[in-house]
Amino acid sequence: MPRVMIVEDDLTILSNLSQLLQLSGLDVMEAHDGQEALRLLLECRVHDTALPRMIVSDLMMPNMDGFDLLRAVRGDSHFNKLPFVLLSARSDASDLQQAFALGANDYLIKPFEVDQLMEVIRYHLSNAVDRKKGTLAGKDCTVDSDFFLE
């Protein structure tokens, strides 16, 4: 079962996204802000447990926003290949440019359709191969050809 980390400070949105992904056959790690997400990722590395296969993060959060989390993830060789999707109500061109300049794989503007989010997740989970090195994003990952989101 592929693991996805959801980072969202709004507890209702976090709960809804988590339930949706779990019903779609995913294992979900939850974090309430970027600091907690980074702490969980570091714990995975220290305790040698499976990393998530991708991160879906809100942009505007207290303590550490989505941009800062993205910088931290891209700056760590253990995590920098993980697909990273930002979710935000901000639709300014400058926000999108910054997201992609920092290494985001996708950017969805809230409100988004559930089908759109699921398609983005499916795409990034099935294409989590690093084309330069031929390795999978995350640790201990294998491509599950039977995994399809409904």
- C-beta neighbour count of 130 within 10 angstroms: 11
Q: Which residues pair with 55 in a beta bridge?
A: 5, 84
Instruction: Calculate the average pLDDT of the chain.
Output: 87
89-147, pLDDT tens digit by residue?
Answer: 999 999 999 999 999 999 999 999 999 999 999 999 988 644 334 333 443 333 343 44
**What strands, in cross-sheet order, belong to the sheet with 3-7?**
27-31, 3-7, 54-58, 84-88, 106-109
Which token pair is 59? 């942009």
Joined together, the tokens standing for residue 55 give 């991160």
User: Candidates 3.40.640.10, 3.40.50.2300, 3.40.50.1110, 3.40.50.720; correct CATH number of 3-136?
Assistant: 3.40.50.2300
Distance between CA atoms of residues 70 and 99, nearest Å? 8
β strands within the chain, DSSP E: 3-7, 27-31, 54-58, 84-88, 106-109, 129-130, 135-136
Report whether 124 contacts 105 (CB < 8 A): yes
pTM over 0.95? The answer is: no
